[in-house]
Structure 1
Amino acid sequence: GLTCFLCYAIFAAVLGMFQFGYNTGVINAPQSVIENFIGDCWKERYNNNIEGSKQDLIWSIAVSIFAIGGMIGGFCGGIVGNRFGRKKGLLLNNLLGVGGACLMGFSQMLYSFEMLILGRLVIGINCGLNTSLVPMYISEIAPLNLRGGLGTVNQLAVTVGLLLSQVLGIEQLLGNSNAWPLLLGLAIVPAVMQMVLLPVCPESPRYLLMSRQLEDEARRALRRLRASSHVEEDIEEMRAEEAASQTEAHMSMLQLVRSSALRMPLTIGIVMQLSQQLSGINA
């Protein structure tokens, strides 16, 4: 069932998805003041006003480079999760979160829009890794009967992050010419919180058993998460999953795209995700 320690572990992990939501929406509200900052930086360096087209280009790069970082992080998520483990991967990823937040937060102080752009790229990589590692960790620590329901916590954290970023971005709060670096720099908070909370949590039992073959450690992790010594059912379910995965044919990305049987489900999934983003939900 849903134990207190399992809730704690889920909260600690889902801070990564909150980070993703917050950084997706945080750049929108203070657009005008950040564009003015770009113009001020240009004038300070070159003693003339920036052309409107150049200002728009720099602003567009600062916004869109977050998505480029997200793609990089998303593609690397599986590699990081398998190489370092789900928990350790999340902890290491927070170094990127802290670094990206600091770059954005200090960009105005150092009069550098390049720092803002680089910070957005770094925090984008951080969020891309979170979108892979957080659902992976939560699904692997959750009991089988709660796995589907707890999976929705990821999207809930994203929407809470989006909402908070929009509220704090109001001009009367942090969306003004003096406070916008703090608005962007607040991305350090969920990263630091996760670095403090997550070390108490165990590594994913599935990773320990199926990837590392550490059955005793997997049992200890399950006992802590389930608050019970009766974990044989979970162990057997993992073994059955491992046996089933070994009998499945392995496919490369190219084979997946070429497969006529999988082409329609793949197309539907891609179109649904594209439709969500093209609807302007994050605009």
Structure 2
Amino acid sequence: MSLSREDCEDGNNLKKPFLYTGSWYKMGSKQSNILNSSTQYVIRDSSVSVLFCVLIVALGPLQFGFTCGYTSPTQESIISDLKLSLSEFSLFGSLSNVGAMVGAIASGQMAEYIGRKGSLMIAAIPNIIGWLAISFAKDSAFLFLGRFLEGFGVGIISYVVPVYIAEISPQNMRGTLGSVNQLSITIGILLAYLLGLFVNWRVLAVLGTLPCLILIPGLFFIPESPRWLAKMRMTEEFEASLQVLRGFNTDISLEVHEIKSSVESVGRGVTIQFADLKMKKYWFPLMVGIGLLVLQQLSGTNGVLFYSSTIFLNAGVSSSNVATVGVGIIQVIVTGITTWLVDKSGRRILLIISSSIMTLSLFLVSTAFYLEGITEKDSSLYSFLGILSVVGLVTMVIGYSLGTGPIPWLIMSEILPMNIKGLAGSIATLTSWLTSWIITMTANLLLTWSSGGTFLMYTVVAAFTVVFAAIWVPETKGRTLEEIQLYFK
């Protein structure tokens, strides 16, 4: 669809989107005034109920983060208590990624057939069982089983939560609320780091059940996604859900009409095949969604954090655990800032700034490691290079948390069309977890081969992410999900 600027300002085309230099062009002044006044009313009336829903489902990504952070403070004690080899513990850590890949395959279709709430309910159960299996493990078998079950639940959560938040949020709050997903992950990681300093690994595993134990009853107090209900032709439930989310004193007729118009061509029993994804209106948003999730992983964040203890040690930091907690605190703070910024500055510009910071910081770490390899260890220059690598690491974490961490999942949940969201969402989530597993498994080998060369490869990926965001990623700030789909059509 091609629209001129005049078309967008014409009263007959006020609801149509227009992409201008990579951003959505503003609509006509008359329609903008109507939307602005309506939007302000929606914020006052719906923010409390929507925020409550987001806080409930955010327990899922909190569980996600706790799973990611669990292995860091427990490695030595688990190896000692269960007499594991280092390779067995590495297998234990990687099984969460394997389980997540299996969960990702099921996540999209599960969310389509039993709903967003039902999927989260199912995801919570293997998480609880998995943590208990780890807590009571007497050998590696129960340990591995528990880790796999955790990963399976996390694979479902990683797709369903951002989609649910995107589908219930007003367009002017969707970025902020969607970023809560990544903020919860970072808080979960930090909690695992902190609690791991004070309790043993079995108690820490029991504490890991708490987010899902609270999530299950909490799901009974929040409405199902109105867009999913509309797609399933459950009209009364759809309107009731939207009314609860927007407030009982809010006129929802315009939004009801817009959502119904968007899904009226999608039948309840419609099955989307892989061949259908070749259509441009499908493959382009899928390419953007998958591309961002893959680049997020290939930028080597997991590899950098995996090597953080060595970086701190080279810089003369005696307690790597305390330093790791410090990195976790930085992630939470910067991700919190992103949550506030994303609906003000926009997704695309934050991605570009974030990736640019990561490019410079990764190049700094790469250079520091390369020079360390040709410098005398007892020299003052070697000590300075160690400090320089820490500065690069911290700056890289700041850059990642500013956009590359939270925004890909947010954009994926916004741009996938409703009728392919199940299949496309599963593909995108599976690809993300597969890439994460590859990076985690190869990081140690690559860093042993050449630390400077490894970080230089990560630098190239971060630089390409800048180009990818500038050329292909559309700005979705302030647009309804239906307006975003009009653009891709």
Q: TM-score range by the shorter chain?
A: 0.7 to 0.9
Structure 1: which 5+ residue stretches go unaligned?
40-53
How far the C-alpha of 1:236 sits from its partner, in A, is 2.0
How far the C-alpha of 1:244 sits from its partner, in A, is 7.9
- The reply to whether residue 94 of structure 1 matches residue 124 of structure 2 is yes
Aligned to 1:167: 194
Aligned to 2:79: 35
Structure 2: which 5+ residue stretches go unaligned?
1-42, 308-489
Residues 1-283 of structure 1 correspond to what in structure 2 (within 5 A)? 1=43, 2-39=46-83, 55-107=85-137, 111-170=138-197, 173-174=198-199, 179-210=200-231, 212-228=232-248, 229-242=250-263, 252=274, 265=288, 267=291, 269-281=293-305
How far the C-alpha of 1:260 sits from its partner, in A, is 9.8
How far the C-alpha of 1:262 sits from its partner, in A, is 8.1
Q: TM-score, normalised by structure 1?
A: 0.82
Q: Where has structure 1 moved over 4 Å in runs of 4 or more?
A: 243-246, 253-256, 259-269
How far the C-alpha of 1:184 sits from its partner, in A, is 1.7
Distance 1:83 1:281 in 2: 37
* Shift in alpha-carbon separation, 1:101–1:262, aligned structure 2, 3 A: closer
Is contact 1:168-1:183 (8 Å) kept?
yes
Deviations 1:18-65 (A, max 9, x none): 1001110111111111111221xxxxxxxxxxxxxx712211111100
Is contact 1:38-1:55 (8 Å) kept?
no
* Shift in alpha-carbon separation, 1:100–1:146, aligned structure 2, 3 A: same
Q: Figure out how many residues of one structure are paired with residues of the other and give that number.
A: 255
* Shift in alpha-carbon separation, 1:186–1:72, aligned structure 2, 3 A: same
* Shift in alpha-carbon separation, 1:262–1:220, aligned structure 2, 3 A: closer
When Rg is computed on C-alpha atoms for both structures, the one with the higher figure is 2
Distance 1:260 1:97 in 2: 33
Deviations 1:116-149 (A, max 9, x none): 1110000000111000111111111111221122
What is the alpha-carbon root mean square deviation over aligned residues?
Answer: 2.6
Is contact 2:230-2:263 (8 Å) kept?
no
AA at the equivalent of 2:124: N
* Shift in alpha-carbon separation, 1:192–1:282, aligned structure 2, 3 A: farther
Is contact 1:30-1:169 (8 Å) kept?
yes
Higher-RCO chain (CA-CA 8 Å, sequence separation at least 6)? 1
Distance 1:263 1:115 in 2: 38
* Shift in alpha-carbon separation, 1:11–1:269, aligned structure 2, 3 A: closer
SS at match of 1:27: helix
Q: Percent identity?
A: 27
Distance 1:274 1:125 in 2: 22
Distance 1:263 1:135 in 2: 16
* Shift in alpha-carbon separation, 1:281–1:219, aligned structure 2, 3 A: farther
